[in-house]
Chains A and B, each alone.
Chain A
Amino acid sequence: MTFLSPWRLARLTVRPSEAGEHLAAATPEAHDVILRLVLPLSVVPPALAWIGGATFGWRLGGGEPLYIPAGGLALISLAYFVALVTGFVSTALVASWMAGTYGARREFGAHLAFVALVGMPAILASVAHLAPHAFVNMLLLIPALIWCLYLLYRCLPAALGTTPEQGILMASSVVAYVLVAFVSLLGITVVLWSGGIGPSLGV
């Protein structure tokens, strides 16, 4: 399928109506989407974060940058990659599970491709990781996330073959899942910190 390339998908993010039609016409296999989109896209942010963190150190504010040892940085980047792949796959699983309720198509491959499309702006904005300052990253990632939301609401009905009204309901349910998944990730990370894995904290 033509859109099963990161470059093509990146172009579709700025053409939402075309993106919906492309995805609607396609019946991609799940393993194809994983190999050609999910895995390559999931490599980008951790790789950029690794380069930025190793070169400049992370600035969260409050003085000198935090330099994490090379081994720790590699481990964090690997965990980031796993979290992204899990995020793509689990969101697609949840969306295909919801599809019956909202009258949408149920093929897992189509959901994976749609989730990859929606996540694309955030992947592109992860170029901010090269300048590892927490606020700079937020400044670039927040507009990108708003664009992700726009793509979700705008493209879902066409891409997954449901009515615009059911599309709004399904998109809102996906937003709920993603928010809960993200905050769970924050929670798990903090529990690991408290348990002594990661930065040296006085807890």
Chain B
Amino acid sequence: MPAGERYHDRVAGWLTGFAVLWSLLGMTAGVYIAAELVWPTIDFGQEWLSYGRLRNLHTNAVIFGFGVSALMATAFYSVQRTCHVPLFAPGLAWFVALAWQATLLAGGASLLAGWTGGKEYAELEWPIDIAIAVVWVCFAVVFFGTIARRRIQAIYVSNWFYGALIIVIAMLHIVNSLAIPVTWSKSYSLFAGAQDAIVQWWYGHNAVGFLLTGGFLGMLYYFLPKHADRPIWSYRLSIVAFWAFTYSYIWAGPHHLHYNAVPEWVQSLGMIMSLVLLAPSWATMVNGVMTVAGAWEKLRTDVALKFIVLSLAFYGLATFEGPMMSIKSVNVVSHFTDWTVGHVHSGALGWNALITFGTFYFLVPRLVGAELHSTRLANWHFWLALAGVMLYVLAMWGAGVSQGLLWLSLDEIGELSFSFKDIMASMAPYYALRLVAGVVFLSGAVLMAINLWMTVKGRVIVRVAPPAVAESAA
């Protein structure tokens, strides 16, 4: 190891800060649009405040702002420690961190201005899409460059998941964004009709798969053993689960297109591969649960571990519910209802947000070499998060199943029993409950932001040297 060599942790620290800010912005936008579904006039006639624009801001801010910034932070932090080398091209890593924020700011502004490509989770227009692709390729260069220079022969499993995230998201984003620009703010997809729908949901579902699942599994596989202070329960199972997950996820997208104008066999294949996906998903859950079960003493001192334990419970729920909802006879009732919204949020709040919160409570004190400012606040955050996500999911299950049943109900002469307008008007109480759930969850995130800010205030990032590597490990 060259003398004076240090890990580049400042970039991970800044990305963590950006992720916290995006979480507050994105969740606030979510709460606001939840309120708009209860009181539709609170857009005050302003286009930029309308549901159609703020909803896109909400999803982009939480997925790409909060989620991806957190993934970049933890990937940069963990790849150095699992390879025992500092980041490759640290200047480029700073470019990735800052350019990603600038791109998202521009993207958010463009969404509020009404620029949209009209594809879900891929609304951003072509200039922003190109910027995303450039930043993402730079992310890949830093990450894989660090792995290429590693001093440990084996590539730890978290890096497999982060690597899959980087490669697959690049592939999905570039292919799905292929478009013919018309003006700076408008382009048309290169694909048309059913092909466009298939490409879009190949992208959409695998963004869920490789970003919101695979990427965060990378986070889990590095930070859970660190929290627990013991190795992962079965390393072999983690590798088997990785390859099974990678192979099966990529096929599952067409389950978003059941009963649409795509071939029947494509829909059925999407359903079958979704069901197959349950095996690798739950293999990871079992691995996580058994790892933490052997380290229960840590819960006495490590409040963050509670978040990770609970995130595994919701990971189990979301990865079971998803395949179940892909079954066509379930999907015929659940599709287009709020059941889907509840499912997405059981994953997004219960799995993604909770594991990230747990990771931040672990990471931030270590980055600045201090204790967490307040364990009590973190405990409050835990209970608010649990209450918020439970309320949210229950409200949306109630609304979704009611919608599915009422939309399809026939009277004795075979006509629809209820009008769509009346059904939706009757959803207001559920939406009010969802609003309460969002406020509860958001208030927990605010407590976290205060807690982390008080932890880092007046401190600097600790400079850590890579450990010496034994000859046998190299």
Contact = CB atoms under 8 A, between A and B. Distances in A.
Contact of A194 (B325, B332, B417, B425): B332
A202 interface: yes
A101 interface: yes
Contact of A201 (B289, B397, B410, B425): B410
A10 interface: no
Contact of A180 (B289, B293, B316, B406): B316
Interface in B296-324: 296-300, 306, 309-310, 312-314, 316-317, 320-321, 324
Interface in B62-86: none
Interface string A159-185: 000010110110011011001100110
B427 A61 contact: yes
Nearest to A138: B398
B418 A169 contact: no
A201 B405 contact: yes
Contact of A135 (B410, B418, B429): B429
A179 B425 CA distance: 28
Contacts of B387: 146
B426 interface: yes
Contacts of A61: 402, 406, 422-423, 425-427
Contacts of A175: 310, 313
Interface residues of A, number: 40
A71 interface: no
Contacts of A138: 394-395, 398, 430, 433
Interface in B278-302: 285, 289-290, 292-293, 296-300
Contacts of B333: 190, 193-194, 201, 203
Interface in A1-54: none
Nearest to A192: B329
A142 B293 contact: no
A17 to B, nearest CB: 18
Contact of B306 (A168, A179, A184, A201): A168
Contacts of B410: 200-202
B422 A62 contact: yes
A190 B309 CA distance: 30
Contacts of B450: none
Contacts of B112: none
A145 B327 contact: no
B93 to A, nearest CB: 36
B329 A183 contact: no
Contacts of B418: 62-63
Given A62-B419, A135-B429, A202-B408, A172 B394 contact: no
Interface in B395-446: 395, 397-398, 401-402, 404-406, 408-410, 414, 416-419, 422-423, 425-427, 429-430, 433
B429 A60 contact: no
B258 to A, nearest CB: 12
Contact of A142 (B309, B316, B325, B394): B394
Contacts of A194: 329-330, 332-333
Given A61-B423, A142-B391, A193-B405, A166 B329 contact: no
B386 interface: yes
Interface string A97-113: 00001100000000000
Nearest to B411: A200
A172 B310 contact: yes
A172 B312 contact: yes
B430 A135 contact: yes
A125 interface: no
A152 to B, nearest CB: 11
A187 B330 contact: yes
Contacts of B298: 165
- 10 smallest CB-CB distances across A and B, nearest first, come from A61-B426, A176-B313, A165-B299, A62-B423, A62-B418, A194-B329, A201-B408, A135-B429, A179-B317, A60-B402
